[in-house]
Amino acid sequence: MGIFDGILLAVDMDGTLTDSEGKISEKNAEAIRYFQQNGGLFTVASGRPPRHFDSFIDIFVPNTYIISLNGSMIFDPKTRTAVKKYPLPESVKEDTVKIARSLPEESMIGIHSETSYFRAPAKEISRKTFENINGDLYDIMFIQSREYTEKLSLTVPSLYPGYKFARGWSEGLEMFSLPAGKGNALLEVKRLTGSRLAVSAGNYDNDLEMTLKADIGVAVANASPSLKAAADIITVSCDENAIAAIIEMLKTK
């Protein structure tokens, strides 16, 4: 029996697990290994695709399902297969074009399919764009200034209620399917693993749903104001070994 038996810890990647330079500290890596060796299930919940985490395989390896593409895919790192997928509907192609046409000249669009990532200026996006992208679509990113992203996040969701929208960073608004989202994915991983306690850690607004649905939602000190307001606990910043601090806290849970 381990002291972390039954605990699922799902953490955001950028600005939570990694520091402001995009690195995972040795102290965090040691804490993750200690958590796993003592019964804990550790994973990431990110807007990144599953293949992104291979670049960190020499530092840490999730020992349960990965939550990727903002909860649009639940991925088994052992079998290298998706166990749950929540792709965007076909209507997203036309709707992406409509939104792109409304964006400022300098805006960019990022499109995640299951196996690829495409990025281009918003002014160049058309229905023809999607003819060259294979497979289902999972996450669309609208990238522009911080000020315009704030405006977009207040207007677009009500105009396109068939999707979920969340800000993954200050200059980006992401669109994914209604059944997706890090929160729904966290609950599904908790169910799949039979965990008694689901703990999340995040730093930005696309972590909000996960923070609210977790049994314990943690915000790092560098998190957005809205995430801090929703969190059960605010810990140290990503530059101060936040994951190690959370795991230390979980010794008493």
Q: What's the average model confidence in pLDDT over 109-136?
A: 94
Cα separations in angstroms, 7 against 43, 54, 128: 11, 24, 46
For position 149, what pLDDT does the model report? 97
- Largest Cα separation within the chain, whole Å, is 58
For position 37, what pLDDT does the model report? 97
For position 132, what pLDDT does the model report? 87
In this predicted structure, the answer to whether residue 1 has a pLDDT above a threshold of 80 is no
CA–CA dist 236, 194 (Å, integer): 29
206, with CB counted inside 10 A (0-12, 13-18, 19+), is: buried
CA–CA dist 49, 115 (Å, integer): 8
Output the 3-class SS for 65-98: CEEEHHHCEEEECCCCEEEEECCCCCCHHHHHHH
Rounded to a whole number of angstroms, the distance between the first and last alpha carbons of the chain is 14
The residue type found at 119 is R
DSSP letter (8 states) at residue 55: G
The rounded percent of the chain whose pLDDT value lies above 90 is 95
For position 236, what pLDDT does the model report? 98
pLDDT tens track for 154-201: 999 999 999 999 999 999 999 999 999 999 999 999 999 999 999 999
Q: What's the average model confidence in pLDDT over 212-225?
A: 98
For position 253, what pLDDT does the model report? 87
For position 104, what pLDDT does the model report? 95
Q: What's the average model confidence in pLDDT over 220-225?
A: 97
For position 115, what pLDDT does the model report? 83
Going along the chain from its start, the domains and CATH numbers come out as 7-85+180-250 (3.40.50.1000), 92-177 (3.30.1240.10)
Provide the CA 136 distance to its chain's centre, in angstroms: 18
CA–CA dist 80, 196 (Å, integer): 25
Give the neighbor-by-neighbor strand order of the sheet with 81-85.
Answer: 66-68, 73-76, 81-85
pLDDT tens track for 64-119: 999 999 999 999 999 999 999 999 999 999 999 999 999 999 999 999 998 899 99
The rounded percent of the chain whose pLDDT value lies above 70 is 100
pLDDT tens track for 226-243: 999 999 999 999 999 999
- Bridge partners (DSSP) listed for residue 142: 109, 173
| C-beta neighbour count of 128 within 10 angstroms | 9
User: What ranges make up the beta strands (E) of the chain?
Assistant: 7-11, 41-44, 66-68, 73-76, 81-85, 108-113, 117-121, 137-143, 163-169, 172-177, 197-202, 216-219, 233-234
- Bridge partners (DSSP) listed for residue 18: none
